[in-house]
Amino acid sequence: MESLSNKKKVLEQKPLSFMERMYLPAIAKGMGITISHLFKKEATVRYPEVEREFSTNFRGMHSLKRDENGKERCTACGLCALSCPAEAITMIAAERKPEEKHLYREEKYAATYEINMLRCIFCGLCEEACPKEAIYLDGPIVPADYLRKDFIYGKDKLVEAPLEMKK
Amino acid sequence: MDSAFVIEKFILVAVIFGISLVIAMYSTYAERKVAAYLQDRLGPDRAGPFGILQPLADGVKMFMKEEIIPASSNRWLFIVGPGLALLCACIGTAVIPWGSPIEIGGKIVPLQVADINVGVLYIFGVVSLGVYGVMIGGWASNNKYSLLSAIRAASQNISYEIAMGLSIIALLLVTNSLSLKEIVDKQHGFWENGWFTWYFFKQPLGFLIFMVCSFAETNRAPFDLPECETELIGGYHTEYSSMKLGFYLFAEYINMFVSSAVMATLYFGGFNYPFMDSAVTHLGQNWASIIGVAALFGKIVFFIFFFMWVRWTIPRFRYDQLMNLGWKGLIPLAIANIIITGVVIAIIEKF
């Protein structure tokens, strides 16, 4: 049948010519190509020492933000935990005492806030769900570890450093 | 036979054994590095500076692994297999002349373990024994894939040994000797009577055939059919673990070292190097000899590099292509080479 679109290409299988059957010219050509790669710059990034530049919307480790006065923004509303498709976030809320006013912005705060980094899929839905702009996935790659329990990150690892410490 | 002779040979054997093991060890490292650089990668660089301790780490890993002997295997042969493979790989170095004799305290010490007058035949015998290690290991595993791969290895080695032997016959027509020491001595220097002394320049086709066959004999790519992962899981060592597996892998690298040494000795002048006579007069016999050893090892390292370079360039042959190349390509070529060499020698001698 004649092809209507005329786009079909029929593969012609010719028997190998004498030069092709000798293998050697093709082998020499191939060896030339491989040896030229010996002098090319390697594409490898030596990861722990050197880090590849991330794109601006890269989603890495989470951080819990503070406001301009250094108070924690998170109010333990639980929307991030609710939105999380991987069920990675859990928290326990507590009421702020009068003497803790300089620590937390709202009357309610997260006494514990845990993210299981083995469950997290870094989709960024918690970031989108947060009404207080308290959580962002702006950190580095989550490091490897040996034990499962060490992948459950608490507030000690997640909360941003206080303002005076950052300076 | 005096005790000095025994001690001298014992030291020589120990040194050569040590060197070939260390070279095989670092061949594994070099293989990974060469592969990496040819593919624009870095290769192992974590263990020590530039990953130089990687072979030690690999060795420790191999020893620490659990050793599994399958219940349905032939226990005795299963253990003999890797040992035989490594043994046959190691004893090939005995007849290779590593350098011209050196003088220690007024005593002439030849840098060769045994100068037997059938050195080339000995090498061939040892190389063809090597296939027993593979065959026994593959059969004793009592595994279909191991057996298939062992059969492949055996048939491949036997097919290519013929072409290899024929290519050597053409060389022997030129050398008139089977002793490796005499063959090397006849390639003295680099240039004589208006032509190169190295046999590569007298037997280029023979060298090509010999080299292709030694790729096949060592089961290296593109002739690594006995070890093709995609078809045979792992090859004849599928059932092996721990250091028995290590022995098989190690034997391959020692084989590579030995066949590099044989190629350098037979075709590239062994320990000979250009201007060696002036080196003897200026530096003395011992230093000239040491340079010669270095020259030989330089050639060997180049050939090992060449083995790796080919491995990371050429895809594996299909089985029918392998047999076609061996029986219909290399053997007729080798026979033609013998005839042409014979005719040329007859013409040179008679006219």
Is the CB of residue B111 less than 8 Å from the CB of residue B97?
yes
Number of domain units in chain A: 1
Express each pLDDT in B31-70 by its tens digit. 898 888 888 888 888 888 888 898 899 889 988 988 888 8
Express each pLDDT in B95-146 by its tens digit. 888 888 887 777 777 788 888 888 888 888 888 888 888 888 888 888 888 8
Whether A101 shows a pLDDT value over 90: the answer reads no
CB atoms within 10 A of CB A5: 5
Minimum distance, in Å, between the CA of residue B108 and any CA atom of chain A: 43
> Using CB atoms within 10 A of its CB, is residue B300 exposed (0-12), middle (13-18) or buried (19+)?
buried
More confidently predicted of B248 and B228: B248
With beta carbons under 8 A apart, name residues in chain A contacting B36.
42
Minimum distance, in Å, between the CA of residue B237 and any CA atom of chain A: 29
Q: What share of chain B is helix, strand, coil (3-state, %, to 5)?
A: 70, 5, 25
Residue A101 lies in a domain: yes
Express each pLDDT in B69-107 by its tens digit. 888 888 888 888 888 888 888 888 888 888 888 877 777
Whether B274 shows a pLDDT value over 90: the answer reads no
Buried b / exposed e over A65-87, threshold 16 CB at 10 Å, is bbeeebbbbbbbbebbbebbeee
Bridge partners for A116 per DSSP: A152
Residue A107 lies in a domain: yes
A104 annotated among ligand-binding-site residues: no
| Confidence band for B1, pLDDT divided at 50, 70 and 90 | low
Residue A115 lies in a domain: yes
Comparing CB atoms, the residue among B39, B42, B309 nearest residue A31 is B309
Residue A26 lies in a domain: no
CATH of residue A96's domain is 3.30.70.3270
Whether A164 shows a pLDDT value over 70: the answer reads no
Express each pLDDT in A63-95 by its tens digit. 999 888 888 889 999 999 999 999 999 999 999
The complex scores an ipTM of: 0.74
Buried b / exposed e over B170-192, threshold 16 CB at 10 Å, is bbbbbbebbbbbebbebbebeee
With beta carbons under 8 A apart, name residues in chain A contacting B50.
none
| Confidence band for A120, pLDDT divided at 50, 70 and 90 | very high
Residue A28 lies in a domain: no
With beta carbons under 8 A apart, name residues in chain B contacting A30.
313-314
A143 annotated among ligand-binding-site residues: no
Supply the pLDDT for residue A100: 86
Supply the pLDDT for residue A166: 52
How crowded is the C-beta side of B50, counted as CA atoms within 13 Å?
9
Residue A38 lies in a domain: no
Instruction: For residues B259 and B126, give the distance between their C-alpha atoms in angstroms, rounded to a whole number.
Output: 11
Residue A104 lies in a domain: yes
Supply the pLDDT for residue A117: 92
A77 annotated among ligand-binding-site residues: yes
Instruction: For residues A58 and B311, give the distance between their C-alpha atoms in angstroms, rounded to a whole number.
Output: 39
Judged by CB atoms closer than 8 Å, whether chains meet at B313 and A30 is answered as yes
What is the model's pTM? Answer: 0.81
Supply the pLDDT for residue B138: 86
| Confidence band for B318, pLDDT divided at 50, 70 and 90 | confident
Residue A2 lies in a domain: no
Supply the pLDDT for residue A165: 56
DSSP B105-151: TTEEEEE-S---TTHHHHHHHHHHHHHHHHHHHHHHTT-HHHHHHHH
Instruction: Tell me the residue range of the domain where A67 lies.
Output: 63-166
Asked if the peptide bond before residue A162 counts as cis, ω within 30 degrees of 0, the response is no
Minimum distance, in Å, between the CA of residue B188 and any CA atom of chain A: 30
Comparing CB atoms, the residue among A23, A34, A43 nearest residue B38 is A34
Supply the pLDDT for residue A1: 72
Contacts of residue B181, defined as CB under 8 A and 6 or more positions apart, other chains included, come to B97, B110, B112, B115, B119
Residue type, B37: Y
Which of B56, B82, B88 minimizes the C-alpha distance to B69?
Answer: B82
